[in-house]
Structure 1
């Protein structure tokens, strides 16, 4: 279905697996949906050669304003949000694929400040988080007491930094981290986005009180498994409302992004284009 405001000019930052899929979708389906791809930027521009029309290749990210985008989509790395997120918001709404960047409080403040100053929205893709709306509604109603997200996959699917990069795999299933999501994101920026989305969906708990668990499982050669467990406060009987979800996302061996996440991200892009452009951080 075409968007009410057409065409929406979209820029893509990052040309890895997800970026390539997104660009392909925009070129093939964008016009009929009221979306116009106006640029693609990648840290290594050579990766775009032969697959992205030269007229769409942006060599300098600082020059994105010359393309007059309505929406810039980050599908690169959290570092892009740290370095350029606030500047992007000067020119356009921003759709974030790497919400782990928002665990950095300075980055979060900068994005919120730029969002309000330039009247542009920060949209965050829910990614692999199942039940995002339910979590948000329960949190807004004061019915959420705890939230725990466990992500398990084969060690080859991790891109870890600092102490986690040298963690020793002690058996077929090893817990690499268990604790507040804020403490995990700096050391697993590309493997903690689902947990970061959960922290944003439940602001009463946030990055400091949503618990993230990262598990290396040698049996999961072609799967990313996400378990979400939440509880509400005890009721009159002393029992608590509780929900558990188990999501298995097929993935190529060693891949950071699961197959279903690619489709989910495209739906997030279409969804945010139909939301009002208002300052603040919004899941989509």
Structure 2
């Protein structure tokens, strides 16, 4: 912040947050911020979570919910690169969602992986690094699983344990992030299922974690949550 933010506007310690009387705190740094300080922030302000992968940790999610209701502040979660968020939620609420799968593919340089995924090697042009429940992916790809985490929040009947996340390293995607969302409902009277498949290509600087269009989407989420009522709970925006 030095040189770009006046010292008077810099907060050196979250312990002094209450002295600033904020309306909204925006997190865009790392899920650890939410896990370590999210509940305390809610004591003083609404919170916009830019790293929804933090909520894959059940203790963190519960702490945020309890703090939100205790202090009557809202937890807003940015949808990021997830296309069709409202449609997914409406279908889920109507009992029409049976499966949801989110695949994110980009060049290996665009990943910031931890744990066992950090040592995974992409020896082929296209390699699946992970395929399974989103809850199992978020701790090892905290900055590359936010779209999948948003999907889990958009479909609470499936949640982090039943929404499937797929992380793909693709050497051909040097300047692009590709997100595929596939969902289906239960069989109808004819035995056929309702199904949707969206394919999103998001330009990105080589090696970037976030695509260019996602920045605009986050800005719209920020403006949108400022117009929503501050009511307890976790709300996608």
- Aligned pairs for 1:193-204 (under 5 A) are 193-204=146-157
Structure 1 runs of 4+ aligned residues shifted over 3 Å read: none
Greater relative contact order, per chain length (Cα 8 Å cut-off, separation 6+): 2
Tell me how far apart the structure 1 counterparts of residues 158 and 66 of structure 2 sit (CA, whole Å): 22
2:17 alignment partner in structure 1? 64
Matched, 1:83 2:36: yes
Deviations 1:239-271 (A, max 9, x none): 000000000111111111110111101100110
Equivalent residues, number: 237
What corresponds to 1:271 in structure 2? 224
SS in 1 for 2:5: coil
- Please name the residue that 2:132 is paired with: 179
Structure 2 unmatched runs, 5+: none
What is the CA-CA distance between 1:274 and the residue it aligns to? 0.7
Q: For 1:242 and 1:100, locate their aligned partners in 2 and report how far apart those are by CA, in whole Å.
A: 26
TM-score by length of 2: 0.99
Q: C-alpha distance in 1, partners of 2:3/2:43?
A: 31
Candidates 178, 182, 207, aligned match of 1:254: 207
Deviations 1:213-241 (A, max 9, x none): 00000011110100000000000000000
Using the TM superposition, give the Cα deviation of residue 117 of structure 1 relative to its aligned residue in structure 2, in angstroms: 0.3
Say which of 64, 67, 90 aligns to 1:114: 67
1:104 is aligned to 2:65: no
Q: Quote the residue 1:237 is aligned against.
A: 190
| 1:81-230 alignment runs, 5 A limit | 81-230=34-183
Provide Cα deviations, 1:172-229, integer angstroms capped at 9, x if missing partner. Answer: 0000000000000000000000000000000000000000000000011110100000
How far apart are the structure 1 equivalents of 2:219 and 2:18?
23
Gaps of 5+ in 1: 1-47
Q: CA RMSD in A?
A: 0.5
Shift of 1:158: 0.4
